[in-house]
Amino acid sequence: MQTDDTNRGLTLLKKGQKGIVHAVFSRFGLVLVLLVLQVLLLLGLFQWFEEYLPHIFGATVFLTFVLVIVFLNMNSRIDPTVKITWLTVIMLLPVFGVLFFVYIRSDLGHRVVKKYMNQVISETKTCIPQEEAVLKRLEEENPGAASLAHYIARSGCHPVYDGTAVTYFPLGEDKFEEMLKQLEAAEHFIFMEYFIVDEGIMWGRILEILAKKAKEGVEVRFLYDGTCEFALLPRDYPKRLKALGIDCRVFAPVTPFVSTHYNYRDHRKILVVDGHTAFNGGVNLADEYINRKVKFGHWKDTAVMLKGEAVKSFTLMFLQMWGEKKEEIERFLSYPAGRAEAARGYVIPYGDCPLDEDRLGERVYMDILNRSTDHVSIMMPYLILDGEMETAIKFAAERGVEVVIVLPGIPDKAIPYALAKTHYASLLESGVKIYEYTPGFVHAKVFVGDGREAVVGTINLDYRSLYHHFECATYLCGADCISGIEEDFKETLAKCRQVTPETVRKEKLGVKLIGCLMKVFAPLM
């Protein structure tokens, strides 16, 4: 344990532990391994049974045909694009493809998580009662938003709140400075839940405060996703934090060959202080998010801070993921959240659970697209769309709504970047306006509809977020900060280059080829 002289805060490691098995145990990596194994097996069979090759070939074709028919008649809730991907895998790997599909769908390493989370969500669905007067006012002011609120409430305890002040941060460094102030002011408890944690200036300064607060008697709980264990942090990191008085847990540690690596990751970013202040947005705990480390140019991220009644929902979401008993949850919810009487509008913090049949994150975005009549502004790091979302975006533009999408100018990953570009031509044809952020990488996840509704959270427009991850977001209706979000869009657009049919035609051949070849595997990205 050491601190340096440049205000980097507290560090527990000499070096971050980088995972060397990441690609092997990812789903896409496993597809490649199975493909190689099948090729080697077939070559061996051809040598051993050369005289029976026509029979083997015929049996393989028949098996593939049967499997395709069976798969096409499977669960109709599987997205058609996902079906196409699996059909391709099965045709390429007639034997191993089926085994791989069974492996992924069985979720061997997550059955306990599924059972537990479904039980917790069910038991805590009434922990925070909906204030009927608030819901009634929303119904009178915006019936469409009230209908959306009704849908959101189906998935868990996600009430509509008023009396909540919301501050929007257009950059990660803005959020970071306010985080430090709020953490310093903590008196009772601090809850933190993040997808990525990497030692450096950001985490070092936060950790220094957490350790100090723990010594003062503040209850500090920290939860991070298991992918950090082989990507950024050693397996004993929770013990190192415990030595500082910080109660730390790892959500779903990755176990090779048992975990279906990308499924059910905790992609949420939540900070709750004393039950009256909460942070949500795209900002993780690593130096690139506050532009103290340059990885892909300037890092553009966003977040919101809530003060007031709506903070209770983030307290509940954290404790659900922590695995706390209902009695303890109710104890923490009893801390006064306070009311921001002067704050206008309505707030709904919500979580998207991949274990149910509701794709809540996607449906909220689609509802904003479908109800908007003037404009929809979208800021996202990735654009890997299923058929439904692409149709919703195009339909909004075709109805005359000005749909503007801001994406990275400098990508963090080559394949998702190429896949995003496969959607450009179709979206442009429908009238969607696409911009790329020339200074660097956009990691923000923001939707704004008609200047009246907005979502700021962790939910990307890709298959991982919409299908496979635990996510969370803050839905805003009529909140004061929405004008600030729109102003940030205008300022960001001034730093972007516009995508046109001409620029799409002139795109590098390599990027086009990667996009075309990988599109069929998009649900695995």
Answer with the one of 62, 86, 106 that is the final residue of a domain: 106
Q: Which residues pair with 249 in a beta bridge?
A: 223
Which structural domain range is residue 97 located in?
27-106
Q: What whole-number distance in Å separates Cα of residue 413 and Cα of residue 420?
A: 11
Residue 227's pLDDT is what? 84
SS3 of residue 251 by DSSP:
strand
3-state secondary structure labels for all residues of 424-472: HHHHHHCCCEEEEECCEEECCCEEEECCCEEEEECCCECHHHHHHEEEE
Contact yes or no for 432/363 (Cβ under 8 A): no
- Which two structure tokens, joined as six digits, stand for 168? 């929007």
Residue 354 belongs to a domain: no
Same domain, 73 and 95: yes
> Any idea what DSSP says for residue 409?
S
Same domain, 101 and 126: no
Same domain, 261 and 129: yes
Contact yes or no for 116/264 (Cβ under 8 A): no
Same domain, 371 and 306: no
SS3 of residue 296 by DSSP:
coil
Contact yes or no for 227/265 (Cβ under 8 A): yes
Longest dimension (CA), the chain: 84
Residue 184 belongs to a domain: yes
Q: What whole-number distance in Å separates Cα of residue 45 and Cα of residue 59?
A: 13
Contact yes or no for 323/435 (Cβ under 8 A): no
Answer with the one of 287, 319, 345 that is the final residue of a domain: 345
SS3 of residue 338 by DSSP:
coil
Answer with the one of 345, 374, 395 that is the final residue of a domain: 345
Q: What whole-number distance in Å separates Cα of residue 244 and Cα of residue 335?
A: 25
Burial class (CB in 10 A: 0-12, 13-18, 19+), 485: buried
Q: What angle do CA 353, 355, 357 make, to 5 degrees?
A: 90
Tell me which residue has tokens 């969500």. Answer: 121
Same domain, 365 and 260: no
Tell me which residue has tokens 């009644």. Answer: 309
Q: What whole-number distance in Å separates Cα of residue 91 and Cα of residue 60?
A: 10
Neighbours of 234 (CB within 10 A): 16
Question: At a CB cut-off of 8 Å and minimum separation 6, what does 57 contact?
Answer: none
Residue 89 belongs to a domain: yes
Q: How many CA atoms lie within 13 A of 98 on its CB side?
A: 12
Q: What whole-number distance in Å separates Cα of residue 505 and Cα of residue 410?
A: 19
Contact yes or no for 351/317 (Cβ under 8 A): yes
Q: Which residues pair with 299 in a beta bridge?
A: 441
Same domain, 184 and 222: yes
Orientation angle between helical segments 143-154 and 360-371, nearest 10 degrees = 170
Indicate the number of domains in the chain: 3
Residue 9 belongs to a domain: no
Same domain, 133 and 226: yes
- Which two structure tokens, joined as six digits, stand for 296? 């892909």
Same domain, 477 and 445: yes
Q: What angle do CA 392, 387, 477 make, to 5 degrees?
A: 35
Neighbours of 25 (CB within 10 A): 20
Residue 20 belongs to a domain: no
Residue 29's pLDDT is what? 52
Same domain, 195 and 322: yes
Run of H or E residues at 168: strand 164-169
Residue 121's pLDDT is what? 81
Same domain, 80 and 118: no
Contact yes or no for 46/53 (Cβ under 8 A): yes
Q: What whole-number distance in Å separates Cα of residue 383 and Cα of residue 432?
A: 13
> Which pTM does this prediction carry?
0.87
Please report, as a single letter, which amino acid is at residue 130: Q
Residue 6 belongs to a domain: no
Question: Number of H helices and number of E strands within the chain?
Answer: 21, 20
Residue 336 belongs to a domain: yes
Tens of each residue's pLDDT in the chain, 525 residues:
444 445 778 988 875 444 444 434 444 455 556 556 656 765 675 566 666 667 666 776 776 777 677 766 766 556 676 777 777 777 776 666 666 666 666 665 566 677 777 788 888 888 999 999 999 999 999 999 999 999 999 989 999 999 999 999 999 999 999 999 999 999 999 999 999 999 999 999 999 999 999 999 999 999 999 888 767 899 899 999 999 999 999 998 876 544 554 578 899 999 999 999 999 999 999 999 999 999 999 999 999 999 999 999 999 999 999 989 889 999 999 999 999 999 999 999 999 998 887 899 999 999 999 999 999 999 999 999 999 999 999 999 999 999 999 999 999 999 999 999 999 999 999 999 999 999 999 999 999 999 999 999 999 999 999 988 999 999 999 999 999 999 999 999 999 999 999 999 999 999 999 998 888 777 766
Same domain, 463 and 372: yes
Which ranges of 157-300 would DSSP assign to H, the alpha helix? 172-184, 201-215, 228-231, 237-242
Domain CATH for 202: 3.30.870.10
Same domain, 309 and 384: no
Residues in the chain: 525
Run of H or E residues at 75: none
- Which two structure tokens, joined as six digits, stand for 276? 């009256």
Residue 57 belongs to a domain: yes
Residue 60's pLDDT is what? 66
Q: How many CA atoms lie within 13 A of 225 on its CB side?
A: 22
